[in-house]
Chains A and B, each alone.
Chain A
Amino acid sequence: MVCIRRATVDDLLAMQACNLMCLPENYQMKYYLYHILSWPQLLYVAEDYNGRIVGYVLAKMEEESNECHGHITSLAVLRTHRKLGLATKLMTAAQAAMEQVYEAEYVSLHVRRSNRAAFNLYTETLGYKINDVEAKYYADGEDAYDMRKHLKGKQNHHHGHSHHHHGGGCCSGDAKAVETTQPADAKAVSK
């Protein structure tokens, strides 16, 4: 009944309504837009049967050193729709897109130390491992686990289109220039 599909810009209205019902979110509107306009393949929404958005995942690509990797920025599912496996589906969809569209090596995310439900989801269901602990990552002083999951490795999905390109890897060259649109408090949340 729930359809996991790519987000459209219009979905932003309902996606933010999710925030009202899940956790207070500190991202500014332009941060969402920055994601959807830069990596539209990495934003998924869970749409319930009556067209209502009940969850979403917000992700992006990052290039540190030479390893191209994806990063999960935010994941939310309405309280009324938890324990239905939606978070897993959303994450799987975003991970698959990172791998298939952007050829990501691995995917990273941050999670609050105290957020046991989310931690269990990442480690047990989705196979993430703790990579590091970032002290006082969140605005309220709580530590974050820096978690990673290696993707299956590059497979050639290009079906012979060897000249297919994405501006030199996962992030086109000028993506960095606009990264300033990311607000300072961006890391204040993110599950």
Chain B
Amino acid sequence: MKMYKLAGEERFLLWAVCSIQLQVLCDKSGEKLLLLAEGLLKKHIASHSMHEPEALMVYISLLEQQSKYNDALEVLSGDLGSLLMIEVDKLRIQGRLLARANDYSAAVDVYKKILELSPDDWECFLHYLGCLLEDDSIWKYFDNIDQIQPTKHIECKFSHLTEEMFDSRISSASDLVLKLQMDTENSNLRGPYLAGLEIEKRKFLFGKKNENKLLESLLQYFHKFGHLACYASDVEAYLHVLSPDKKTEFVGMLVKNSDAFSESATKVLGQTTTILKVQELTGNIFELPIDEIEASAVKLAKLYCQNLSLSKDLDPQESMFGEELLSLISNMLVQLYWRTRNFCYLAEAIMVLELGLTIRGHVWQYKILLLHIYSYVGALPLAFERYKALDVKNILTETVSHHILRQMLESPMWVDLSNLLKDYLKFMDDHLRESADLTFLAYRHRNYSKVIEFVLFKQRLQHSNQYHAARVEASVLQLKQNADSIEEEERVLENLKSGVQLVELSNEIGSRTLRFNEDMETRPWWTPCPEKNYLLGPFEEISYCPKENEKKDREENMKLAIQRKSLLPRMIYLSIQCTSTALKESVETNGSKGDTKISGELECLLEEYTKMLGCSLSDAVEMITEISKGARTSESLGSSLVDWLNFAVFWNGWSLSSHEHWHVLNSLFERLILDRIRSMGSSDMSSCYSDVQVLVQIITEPLAWHSLIIQACTQSSLPSGKKKKKNHQHSDQLSSSPMSETIKDSIQSLCNTIQEVSNWILNQLDSPEDDQVDRFLSTLKRAEGAAGGPGQILGVLESVIASCEESEVGNRIFDALKSWNTADTARKTVMAQQRVFREFLQICESKRKQLETVKQQMSHV
């Protein structure tokens, strides 16, 4: 402001105005300031007028922010309005202001004008229809866009319209759409035709019984655009409103009508792909019998092969014809696996996609599908490789890394995980640091509206759920990596400010709105978000299930998960501190209460922690006690089993002098781990990786923290270091005290349990690699003359590889086909699985050795 007064330049004033707007936007208070800003601008305009379009935009947005729509309209239509040089831009603003001022009939005229200028402007059409029907839901929709891919479903409300009003208005919309269709007949625009569909949809939602007409329009749209790759996503919202029967009927209509149009190979290919995608979207595919799905997949594989020659002359970076067919086939194979639990289908899906990648190396869908299948079968190093091939960097680390992050967090692949987290956090931190400079850049270029957008964007990243989670996980990972040595761990904790900062984070997050910037659209149907994997449960006939419904739950759960996790470092720190007090107590039975402050804080955190698990501290204690005694099964802990074990560890850390608590914890570990091992039995990695993931987490988190507490106990009793001198006098007493016996028992119990895990892994690693590869491949071999079953698709593809001619498919595809080797792919999968086992075994062994060392130290005291 001072600079404005000194220099009198417009830009300094606008700078100040923007700052006010931002303040109001972010704090949702101080609205009086807006009035002040408006006054300043008015005064400036009166004396100097206004010279820049951006300045006008600021002025209008300022009025809009105060809901002074009519004032804004007046400004826009006055002299200043001519600052906006692109006519359509001006009309769009005008339409918006009129609509918000509830002057619907004037808004309709403006939107109509825009549509005549650009008939393909879809957003404008929706606004037009909204204003025509006096329905402002679309504005709420635009105000609430929070996802990277906004929801496809926009609410409509009609209750304020009589049937007569609705009919007359919708018929004027139909007239306009017809006119637009005629005007653009030769330009192949989809907009006007989709507008026709939208009108039918509104009629349907209003209660007109026009379902058949809607189907007919969808079919017409198919005739016109069905061969395009965008057909399915175009009509998704319309399919969504149909009843299940009508959805099935529609698929039938498509199948019947597609055969009639077969003038060109690419068109047939496009239409066939579209029909399959519609089947996926409507959930129709989940209702088909298994052999029908198989037959359909075989048909698609043949179609893919027949059309390879179409792509003969394409540049390597261009999409191939029929590229999507392989993704569709693999989706079908995954479904077949889900329904039959026959691993061969999954193996076949891997082969189909890998072959696809051999032919076309850049297809991201193949990479993502493979990434998830490899993760599911425990070939995590390969999954990570496919992820890296996606070349995820910059902002994509925020939107795309959800594909791999969770699996990595639950794996023993600490080095790769650490790099993943580091890269992501570096990008986010760099961006947040540099954003001040960028804000300044926008100011200097006098792009004031961008200043506001940019600051809001920065907040969006700052409050990203993934960013918070990654910060916590990076700290926890360091603690996991150093948990074998109490000295190292204390150093890590010191760097983490004894966990205080993360506790603060946990408190802050509770009241904050987290943002979700991940692009979930690219995930396979069977794992729509990182926490969900249908394959882990039984097959149910899932009909079309909109992903959106899950969003709200997800937000709540993510928040709790981050909050819980961010308490861990502090609880570890406090538990370690508690050990010295506890030992003193156990020796001086009549002793003072020790450091009540530390144990008091730990108790508070335990209470908070259990609250986040959904119960009180005493209920939580009862729960784990019952499970340790076998009175309840571990299933009652649900998916937060590891969190419960963490709780048990720190609960014991808080009450170390109780022999009984130690005992509960020992048997809890034993029971939960042995349960898993028993359920896995001798099955191989491919079918039990989710159990392995749980084991990895138990060993690397709660069990690791517990063994740290044990180390801390013995360390406090050892005559070393200045701090420990106080305890020296107790040390010889300790060795014979009941406490020491308790610790020794616990060590023994833990060692035995870990040994069981190691034995199980060794057993898995025991069979030679070649045997495992053979077993993998044998699942794909088909018995001579077998009618159905897995392996058919790979058969089709391989026979083409054997017989195709270079002249037919071009040398690039020909070379790729010749380089394909099924056995190599099988071997890579097996090797990746074994690597996970070896990493895990190493962790188990070092934990066990560490505990053995502690035991020896104790007996030497």
Contacts and interface: CB of A to CB of B under 8 A. Distances in A.
B51 A165 contact: yes
A130 interface: no
A3 B445 contact: no
Contacts of A114: 315
Contacts of B445: 37-39, 172, 175
Interface in B285-342: 315, 317-319
Given A100-B86, A116-B315, A16 B52 contact: no
23 contacts: A1-B122, A5-B123, A16-B394, A17-B396, A17-B522, A19-B396, A20-B400, A23-B317, A29-B431, A33-B441, A48-B122, A49-B122, A50-B150, A50-B233, A81-B229, A84-B228, A84-B230, A101-B86, A117-B318, A167-B446, A175-B445, A178-B441, A181-B441
Chain B residues touching A, range: 35 or more
Contacts of B453: 8-10
A48 B230 CA distance: 10
Contacts of A166: 52
* Most chain B CB within a 10 A radius of its CB, from A3, A9, A27, A181: A9
Nearest to B149: A52
B86 A20 contact: no
B85 A24 contact: no
Interface in B209-238: 228-230, 233-234, 236-237
B348 interface: no
B322 to A, nearest CB: 13
Contacts of A16: 394-396, 399
A19 B394 CA distance: 11
Contacts of B35: none
Interface in A24-44: 24, 27-30, 33-34, 36-40
B398 A47 contact: no
B315 A172 contact: no
Nearest to A114: B315
Interface of A: 1-6, 8-10, 12-14, 16-17, 19-21, 23-24, 27-30, 33-34, 36-40, 47-52, 54, 79-82, 84-85, 96-97, 100-101, 114-117, 157-161, 163-167, 172, 174-175, 178, 181
B117 interface: no
B156 to A, nearest CB: 15
A82 B321 CA distance: 13
B311 to A, nearest CB: 13
Contacts of A1: 120, 122, 189-191, 194, 234
Nearest to B152: A50
Interface of B: 51-53, 82-83, 85-86, 89, 118, 120-124, 145, 148-152, 187-191, 194, 228-230, 233-234, 236-237, 315, 317-319, 364, 390-392, 394-396, 398-400, 427, 431, 434, 438, 441-442, 444-447, 449-450, 453-454, 456-457, 460, 517, 519, 521-522
A160 B453 CA distance: 30
B145 A51 contact: yes
B447 A10 contact: no
A97 to B, nearest CB: 7
B390 A164 contact: no
Contact of A159 (B82, B124, B315): B82
Contacts of A47: 122-123
Contacts of A96: 86
Contacts of B52: 164, 166
Contacts of A172: 444-446
Given A13-B517, A20-B396, A157-B85, A37 B457 contact: no
A102 B228 CA distance: 37
A3 B123 contact: yes
B454 A33 contact: yes
Nearest to B452: A9
B400 A10 contact: no
Contacts of A51: 145, 149-152
Contacts of A36: 450
A9 B450 CA distance: 7
A97 B85 CA distance: 9
B51 to A, nearest CB: 6
Nearest to A101: B85
B447 A38 contact: yes
Contacts of B390: 20
A109 to B, nearest CB: 18
A17 B148 contact: yes
Contacts of A29: 394-395, 427, 431
Contacts of A49: 122, 191, 194, 234
B496 to A, nearest CB: 28
A103 to B, nearest CB: 10
B395 to A, nearest CB: 5
A165 B450 CA distance: 19
A152 to B, nearest CB: 15
Given A16-B399, A17-B396, A29-B431, A79 B51 contact: no
Contact of A40 (B230, B447, B456): B447
Contacts of B364: 20-21
Contacts of B89: 6
A24 B89 CA distance: 32
A163 B51 contact: yes
B662 to A, nearest CB: 50
Nearest to A51: B150
Given A37-B441, A51-B150, A79 B319 contact: yes
B450 A40 contact: yes
B191 A13 contact: no
B343 to A, nearest CB: 30
A19 B395 CA distance: 11
A111 to B, nearest CB: 13
B85 A82 contact: no
A117 B317 CA distance: 11
A167 B400 CA distance: 40
A37 B427 contact: no
Contact of A13 (B123, B317, B319, B398): B398
Contact of A17 (B391, B399, B442, B447): B399
A48 B449 CA distance: 24
Contacts of B149: 14, 51-52
B148 A164 contact: no
A32 B832 CA distance: 38
B83 A164 contact: yes
Contacts of A3: 120-124
A5 to B, nearest CB: 7
Contacts of B438: 30, 33-34, 37
A13 B149 CA distance: 9
B450 A82 contact: no
A63 to B, nearest CB: 14
A169 to B, nearest CB: 13
Contacts of B395: 12-13, 16, 29
* Most chain A CB within a 10 A radius of its CB, from B148, B189, B229: B148
Contacts of A10: 145, 453, 456-457, 460
Given A30-B431, A100-B85, A116-B315, A14 B120 contact: no
A154 B451 CA distance: 30
